[in-house]
Amino acid sequence: MFPYSSASEVMHGSNYEHHVKCSAGTVAFEPIRYLEDFGQVYQFSAALALSTYRRVLQTYREGELQAFGRKYLENWQKVFMCLPKITINAETTTI
The whole-number pLDDT of residue 86 equals 77
Burial of 37 (0-12, 13-18, 19+ CB in 10 A): middle
The whole-number pLDDT of residue 4 equals 60
Average pLDDT over residues 43-48: 86
Other Cβ atoms less than 10 A from the Cβ of 10: the count is 20
Find the range with the poorest average confidence among 3-12, 43-52, 53-62, 76-85: 3-12
pLDDT per position as a tens digit, 14-27: 666 767 778 787 77
8 Å CB contact between 18 and 24? no
Confidence of residue 2 (pLDDT cuts 50, 70, 90): very low
Average pLDDT over residues 29-39: 70
